Each structure stands twice: as structure tokens, then as C-alpha cells.
Amino acid sequence: MANSRLLLNLLAMLLCQLVFWQWGLSYEHLLTLSGYLAINFMSITMLLAMRPVWLESVLGGLDKIYQLHKWTGILAVIFALGHLLIEMTDDFFKAQFGKERSLREADFSGVLDGLQELAEDFGEPGFYLLLALVIITLIKWLPYHYWRYLHRAMPLVYLALAAHALLLAPLLWWSQPVGWLMGFLIFCGLVASLLSLSGKVGKSHRWQGLVQMVRQLSHNTIEVVCDMGQYWPGHKAGQFALVTFDRSEGAHPFTMASADHHNGRLYFHIKALGDYTSTLRHRLKPGQAVTVEGPYGRFNPNTGNVSAQQIWVAGGCGITPFLAALESRIYATEKSYSAVVLHYCTQLTENDPVVARLQELAARLPEVTLCIYQSQQGQLLTSAQLQIHSATVDIWFCGPSGLATALRHELKQQPISVRFHQEHFEFR
């Protein structure tokens, strides 16, 4: 399960840092340990924000990288809060544990002494800014186009806190593994911050193109076709891209709704889910410039375990990666694919133009069985309707999170081995 994998990744990061730490339980050790973990997790958070493609294969896709980015940021704030509280209760801890500190801050003179005092002054306000930015991100009350500008301040906050950590860390650390690890992570964080401030994050994976066609698929969904020209590197079924139609709005993730036809054309099905996507059908025109960053993601239903029962579940616009997967099966000339049952949940087939396309693709693929559920007709998908007949099952899911949660809960009650593949597009 995705949540278990996330927890294991976070625990592995924490244990790795503690291995480098010379453990102790004195006041000073608690103070420096909390600061050490805070700046390390902040550095990891900055690194993950760079969207490193090489990490996709390790963590399972860009969505997993951003999910980990979110939680390393939360852990950084938790440890920074602990560090601040210990520092604020300095007198109390000194009385309890003694006035002699086992680890002293670096003792400088001259210019470095002035910088050290400045870094110490930056620590507390820097933490408050970090806390405010993380809270605003988590509660999501600020519209995306405002939030992304505010989020750009994060590298500046990190630079202030990194200076605080570098100048106030005990000198003894720099000759020990604990300092080497912290120094390496801060170096990575500094590079990431400078790349972010200069606008170069993802630049090597950005492609310029034109909107070729905008078509209304239903009352709340449009199809946008983009011509990226001959330089588009190609994509795999199920991958997505960060698409910018308006620079002031920024990039949004959309899944490619077709297989790669090697002609530079990308198809996106965009549902009106918010202020921005609701206005796209009126704002997009053929010939309009578009920037596409990607492709990203590792959600490819055709790569499932061949020895397991294959089940695909889609809801609404979640059908897009499966459209691409079905198309890629048709155009594959040599590879044979295992049987799969595709369960598609929609409101009403009469108002859903994707249904006809799905039926056409399924008719051309004898190994694919298509099941359609209409919510307005009272047809709701449950785990019983998945018709599981194997002890090992691969379920590929893309759709409403509520449906995913319900299916996961029901599947836990069954004595089977389930791999539940799901992308998480919560990028803030």
C-alpha cells in the first residue's frame, strides 16, 4: 500500500540520520538533535522539490516524490518546533541537567562572530515563516495561483535557516560523520534553493508547443490537443505532464489521454474542478502557446504482474491513463498482454462521450472486459463487483479518493494479496 511505503521511506530517512548521530539524552543533546533533524529534513524537502527524474524509479513516480516532500516538510517543522521550545526553556533545562554543556556552539571571533549573531537572530523568525508557509499549504484556503507565489519564498526561508544551522553547529561535528551528513544535505538544499530562485527547476524537461484544438467533451470536460513538434521525447501510457497555458497561473498536472503516436501530439481531458479549470474552455484558443514539462509518472497499467489478476478501476477523468493504456495495446505489434477487467464509473453514459471510445477500444482488444457503472442509475462499484478470483491481485486505480478509500477498506477484509496502484495528485 502507498501509505505503508511512505511511512517506510520516512522511517528510513530518520534512522539513517540517527545512525550518524552520537546519541545522548542531555539537555544539549536534545537541543542539537532537534536542530540537526530539522535542518536535515528541510534540506531533503528542498531536494525533493527539484523533481529529480532519477528518483521516480526509486520512489515510484513524481506523485510519490511530492507526497514524500510534503511529509518531510511536516517533520522538519515538528523538529524545528521542538528545537525552539527547548531553546525557549533554556533556563529550566539548565537547572535540571546542569549548566555545563556537553556540546558547545561554534566559538568565532571577528566577522564570523557577527555572522553567528545574525544567524542566531534569523533562527526564530525563520521558523515562524516556515511554520506559516506549511500551515497555509496544508489548509489550502489560499487559491493556487496566489499560493504558488507565496511558496516561492520557501527557498529564502531555507537559506536563512541553513545559515543558522551552519554557523551555530558545534565545531566538533565537522570532523565527525554527523557533520558530514548535515553538510552534504545542506549543500544539496543550497543548490536546490538557488535553482528554485533562478526558475530552473524542471527546465531541462520543458517543451514549447501550441494548442491545436479545444473540444467540449461534456458539460464539464474538455479535450485539449497540443502540438509539441518533433522535439517531444515521447511518453508512456499513464504518464502525466505539468502543463502551463497561462504563466500567471503556473503549471498544473494533467494525464496524457492517448498513447504516444510519435507525432508530438498530446491529448488531455480536463474536467472543471476548480476556478482555473472551469474557465479553460473559454480561455484556450487554437494557436495559443503552451509549455509542457515532463513526461512524469510511473502509473502504467500494462506493467502489472503477469501472474496476478489484473483489475483496472477508473472514475470520471480518471479514465485518461486507461485510454492511453488501451491505445498502446492496440498499437503494440509484438508484445502480448494479460487479460484485464476495466471498471469505469460515470454519472450517466448518455452524457459521457468517453464511453463510446472505451467501447470501441475494448471491442478491438479481446483480452479486455469493460464494465460500466452509472451513479445516477444507482450503480455503485464495490469490491464484490470486482469479481476477484485469484489469491494475488493487481488493482490499478485512478479516480475519486473517496472511492479508493472505500475499496481499500473492503479489500482489507478479504484473505488475498492486493497491490493497489494509485497516483496522488495533491501537489500542495
DSSP letters for 188-222: HHHHHHHHHHTT-TTGGGEEEEEEEEEEEEETTEE
Other C-beta atoms lying within 10 Å of the C-beta of residue 114: 11
Residue 75 has pLDDT above 60, yes or no: yes
CA dist., res. 376 & res. 350, Å (int): 11
> Does residue 109 or residue 68 have the better pLDDT?
68
- All domains of the chain, ordered by start, with CATH? 2-197 (1.20.120), 204-296 (2.40.30.10), 301-422 (3.40.50.80)
pLDDT digits (tens, 9 = 90+) for 343-396: 999 988 888 889 999 999 999 999 999 999 998 888 989 998 998 999 899 999
> Does residue 215 or residue 220 have the better pLDDT?
215
CA dist., res. 423 & res. 298, Å (int): 9
Place of cell 524537461: 205
Residue 423: what pLDDT?
84
> Does residue 292 or residue 83 have the better pLDDT?
292
Residue 103: what pLDDT?
46
Question: What are residue 249's phi and psi, to 5 degrees?
Answer: -90, -30
Model confidence band, residue 273 (pLDDT cutoffs 50, 70, 90)? confident
> Does residue 178 or residue 273 have the better pLDDT?
178
pLDDT digits (tens, 9 = 90+) for 240-249: 999 999 888 8
pLDDT digits (tens, 9 = 90+) for 418-427: 999 988 776 6
CA dist., res. 350 & res. 212, Å (int): 27
Residue 116: what pLDDT?
55
Cα dihedral sign, 133-7-401-255: positive
Residue 183 has pLDDT above 70, yes or no: yes
| Residue 408 cell numbers, joined | 481499500
CA dist., res. 119 & res. 126, Å (int): 10
pTM of the model: 0.81
pLDDT digits (tens, 9 = 90+) for 126-182: 788 888 888 888 787 777 777 878 888 899 999 989 988 888 888 888 888 889 999
CA dist., res. 207 & res. 293, Å (int): 6
∠ Cα 320 327 212 (to 5°):
65
Q: 3-class SS at 143?
A: coil
